[in-house]
Structure 1
């Protein structure tokens, strides 16, 4: 694998992660986290090691308003936690 191939893969995976975060509505919420840089770095590492980028691309292009990330997504649990925390923070106090 050439250096150009590696950069191409990194760019594609980063674009997929960005698209997934935007589609799920977690991008802004992640930036609000105290350690957002570390969270994003770990999420990017999980995404970079994913062996299903084609399935991710297909899912992104066919899901209009998803409630959650696909089960094969290596960041599924992270995105679920972020969504759950965001919903909890927008609920009125009882």
Structure 2
């Protein structure tokens, strides 16, 4: 894998994370948590280490909004906590 391929892969995964947070309705809530930059960086790291990019992209394409992420989402716990803090079920 070339450096460019790696960088494109990292960018895709980070984009998927942002889309997932929007789909789950927690993108604004994520920006309000204490030390949100560190929380976002850890969430991005979990997303970047995931091997389900194609599945995630397909899932996101078929869901404008959702209450729960797919089972393979490595940020499911974070999303659940953010949804709870935002008063979402």
Q: What is the TM-score when the length of structure 2 is the normalising length?
A: 0.94
State how far apart, in whole Å, the 2-side matches of 1:78 and 1:71 are.
Answer: 13
State how far apart, in whole Å, the 2-side matches of 1:76 and 1:70 are.
Answer: 8
Contact 2:24 2:67 in 1 (8 A): yes
- Where structure 2 has 5 or more consecutive residues not aligned to the other structure, the ranges are none
State how far apart, in whole Å, the 2-side matches of 1:85 and 1:72 are.
Answer: 22
State how far apart, in whole Å, the 2-side matches of 1:86 and 1:35 are.
Answer: 17
The answer on 1:73 being equivalent to 2:41 is: no
Q: In structure 2, what is the equivalent of residue 91 of structure 1?
A: none
Look at both structures and tell me which one has the larger radius of gyration over its CA atoms. Answer: 1
Measured after TM superposition, the shift of residue 77 of structure 1 is 0.8
Question: How many residues of Structure 1 are paired with residues of Structure 2 in the alignment?
Answer: 88
Measured after TM superposition, the shift of residue 35 of structure 1 is 1.0
Q: In structure 2, what is the equivalent of residue 6 of structure 1?
A: 6
The structure with the largest helix share of the pair is 1
- Where structure 1 has 5 or more consecutive residues not aligned to the other structure, the ranges are 89-94
Q: In structure 2, what is the equivalent of residue 64 of structure 1?
A: 64
Give 4+ residue runs of structure 1 displaced > 4 Å after superposition: none
Q: In structure 2, what is the equivalent of residue 39 of structure 1?
A: 39
